[in-house]
A and B are shown apart, each in its own frame.
Chain A
């Protein structure tokens, strides 16, 4: 009985004793053993362990960088002489490298500056920045970057005070202290205002967004990471921020829990945060495409300009060629011009002259690119008059024409009296025919019965008289001289009267030609009488000077005519009286 109680206790006790003997009280032997060999154990694997950990999550660097920076700083402060001695041999190389790096950077910056300050794009950007009221540099950043994290704030969640901030451009960093506090205040306001009943954590701000600026807010248990991003940040960037915040909590857990407003422990977290200052430039591909398209356009424009210029030069040469062609009788070139890729010619051409295209082709001018507009005119060039005469003579196969001298032509052959009379009439109708000397003495007229001939001539005289009676010469108001426009009619009149007096002479007819001058109703009766007479006299004198027998002409002034159309009165009109054909007996009683 007495053995029973104590028997179980020593068993337990012995186990404890054995353990105590083996590993010591509270694992003391193991700890001692480990402590004694700690250095050896750690030194055996420290490099590999560091490498493994660095490869795994890069945390070794993050821990070491601030420590090394601090140590270096202290070392330089304490042993500056030693450091100077060590660095002295390197300084020359360092300076050279620094200078060359500076120069490269300077050149690149200058290039960028030129590109951003003088290009049309930069001017447009400056205008747009001014228009939207943002700074030029901010606008450029918003255009150049797809997104850019400009500044990061780590804020103590409870107090709203700033723990640390990093910025991509320190000059642009905002007053981080106030921003941090204000952000926390806004967050508190939102949480309180929109969810009084719910747990505050459910309703905190995740993002504040303006047109071109976004504040991405990542909440952690003790700290908030806020990223100020321009442009549109991709969703995956949030993951990066969250990871950074988690790492921050991991590394600075103790200072965060013990935070009393002192942010010195967080000074080293810049390394950790710098990884989050990321940006992505907009792809320049589009620009390149645009530039390529632009180049193509420019090349096309130049090619078309050159082609146009080539055609233009070709046309100009052709134009010059036409302008310097020797003058063609019966063709007067009045104007040449280039328009719509063609040469336009304006010319005057006598119908008897060759066609303009024929003329051009004769001189080897291609007429495909030439458009011609011509007006008719009467040429007094001897060659044209000759052509007209030849055309006329060709209708009479029995006649031939030969040149005696330069302007002397001889007609020969046989023709009836009536044909001869008609021919003369036609020849005399050729304008400028007087410039040529036509010898018709060699034309023989076969004899026909005199009576017949006299009858025919009398008929001809009547025909001419009728035509003369139909001629009206118009005058300008208050003018008694014949206008140039009436000269054609006057020439015709002269010709007719010449023929008439010839025929009359042949068959011994008496002819009286009344030249009746008239006027309109304006002016006094006396003046109108004088004016009308003057008109008749002038016509008579002109006819006389053109070879018409004065004795045939009887001018008279009618004064004003009582016509409905007043202007019709300003005329000279004619009437012819012819006596009956006289027989030989009549002539010589």
Chain B
């Protein structure tokens, strides 16, 4: 069986752990718990008759004051940068994270995830600006960890891409 390592990056509180929890366990909790270090989960998917096991490395939230440990990305098939569409700053931070990651692993596919689509968009970025920024990434997917909207698709896309 194929095993693929996927890392999930992003600023604090954008919903990285919730995305993984929704994908792996199908549940969402309103309770907020900060991830410390890294939390690893796995889920098996079937792609065109082939089984793929995704090992999801949910990294702790990254902000401008604390960098992240680039070693965690070593050997990753892909990584996801999650931002929160209710916080304008999260997109800027997400772009910073992308550039930091690219510095060490320029060839690894990076997925851009705009999370919390169940809430009204309240950042000041226009759709065009978001799409413009998304060009730096392999793909842009808008998700809601709460409703599960697009979550399955996100990881299926990554699994497909990883093959």
Q: Which residues of A contact B (CB under 8 A)?
A: 156-162, 177-178, 181-182, 185, 188-189, 191-192, 200, 260-264
Contacts and interface: CB of A to CB of B under 8 A. Distances in A.
The list of the 10 closest CB pairs from A to B, nearest first, reads A159-B75, A158-B75, A161-B3, A188-B71, A261-B2, A181-B40, A192-B69, A159-B5, A261-B3, A185-B38
Contact of A177 (B2, B42, B76): B42
B72 A188 contact: yes
Given A161-B55, A185-B37, A261-B162, A178 B2 contact: no
22 contacts: A158-B75, A159-B3, A160-B5, A160-B55, A160-B75, A161-B4, A162-B3, A177-B42, A177-B53, A178-B40, A181-B40, A181-B57, A185-B57, A185-B72, A188-B69, A189-B38, A189-B69, A191-B71, A192-B69, A260-B2, A261-B52, A262-B2
Residue among A157, A188, A260, A261 with max Cβ neighbours from chain B (10 Å): A261
Interface string B48-67: 00001101010000000000
Contacts of A161: 3-5, 55, 75
Interface of B: 1-5, 37-38, 40-42, 52-53, 55, 57, 69, 71-72, 74-77, 162
B74 A159 contact: yes
A162 B53 CA distance: 11
Contacts of B5: 159-161, 181, 261
Contacts of A159: 3, 5, 55, 74-77
Nearest to B59: A185
Contacts of B1: 262-264
A369 B42 CA distance: 87
Contacts of B41: 178
Contacts of A263: 1, 3
Contact of A181 (B55, B71, B162): B55
A177 B72 contact: no
A189 B60 CA distance: 12
Nearest to B2: A261
Contact of A158 (B3, B4, B53, B74): B74
A222 to B, nearest CB: 11
Nearest to A196: B69
Contacts of B52: 261
B71 A177 contact: no
Nearest to A175: B42
Nearest to A183: B40
B55 A177 contact: yes
Contacts of A264: 1
Contacts of B40: 178, 181-182, 185
A290 to B, nearest CB: 47
Contacts of B2: 260-262
A261 B38 contact: no
A191 B70 CA distance: 11
Given A188-B69, A261-B4, 18 more contacts: A157-B75, A158-B74, A159-B75, A160-B5, A160-B55, A161-B55, A177-B3, A177-B42, A178-B41, A181-B42, A182-B40, A185-B57, A188-B74, A191-B71, A261-B2, A261-B5, A262-B2, A262-B3
A255 to B, nearest CB: 13
B130 to A, nearest CB: 31
A474 B74 CA distance: 119
Given A159-B3, A181-B5, A185-B40, A261 B71 contact: no
Contacts of A261: 2-5, 52, 77, 162
Contacts of A177: 3, 42, 53, 55
Contacts of A158: 74-75
Contacts of A182: 40
A389 to B, nearest CB: 114
A181 B59 CA distance: 13
Contacts of B42: 177-178, 181
Nearest to A156: B75
Contacts of B57: 181, 185
A180 to B, nearest CB: 9
A213 to B, nearest CB: 20
Contacts of B75: 156-161
